[in-house]
Amino acid sequence: MATRCKSILRPGTRLKVGEDVGHLLQFHFHTPSEESVNGVRYPLVAHFVHKGFDGKLSVVALLFKEGRRNQALAPMFTALPTEGKLLALANMNPGELLPADHSYFKFMGSLTTPPCSDGVRWQVLKQTAEISKQQLSAFRKLYTMNARPIQPLNSRVVEVSD
């Protein structure tokens, strides 16, 4: 059950958030967000999946709240692929999606789609981005609900950066 909107990036694309430097493998979106912050779940989240130099996977999550039209999303959201298809983005800089403030919540987790492997480092950016109602409904026309339910924290520790 592949219900993700993945993007193909030019080889060598990198993204640095906090201490996290690695190769960006792909990014994709979920609606609603798979994260909640202080009990609040967001209408959309972007997951930037990296492979670190140590070979471990890490995911940077960017939450979206409803607001203004997001210009950085526009090139993608006007050409959204259908389920299971990939979208080639030749000249897109995914860094343009990120807010200026890169502070984050960090915790250890797993992939949210099968095989849901453990050992994935998660960094959820504190600063949210905005997306318009129209952009959100365009996404939801193709992807009605593609999020894993919120998982219990169990004994995991959530670290907060400055």
The contact set with Zn ion (CB under 5 A) reads 47, 112
Taking CB atoms, the residue at the shortest distance from Zn ion is 47
| Closest separation in Å from C-beta 98 to Zn ion | 16
Distance of CA 16 to CAs 40, 56, 58, 123, Å? Answer: 26, 15, 11, 12
CA distance 113 to 67: 28
| Closest separation in Å from C-beta 34 to Zn ion | 6
| Closest separation in Å from C-beta 162 to Zn ion | 26
| CB nearer to Zn ion: pick between 47 and 50 | 47
Pairing of strands 6-8, 36-37: unpaired
Give the residue from 107, 13, 17, 116 showing the smallest Cα distance to 62.
Answer: 17
Distance of CA 117 to CAs 57, 109, 113, 114, 120, Å? Answer: 10, 8, 9, 7, 8
| CB nearer to Zn ion: pick between 116 and 153 | 116
| Closest separation in Å from C-beta 47 to Zn ion | 3
Helical spans, DSSP H, in the chain = 74-77, 133-142
| CB nearer to Zn ion: pick between 91 and 117 | 117
| CB nearer to Zn ion: pick between 47 and 121 | 47
Q: What residues contact residue 111 under an 8 Å CB cut-off, 6+ apart?
A: 57, 117, 120
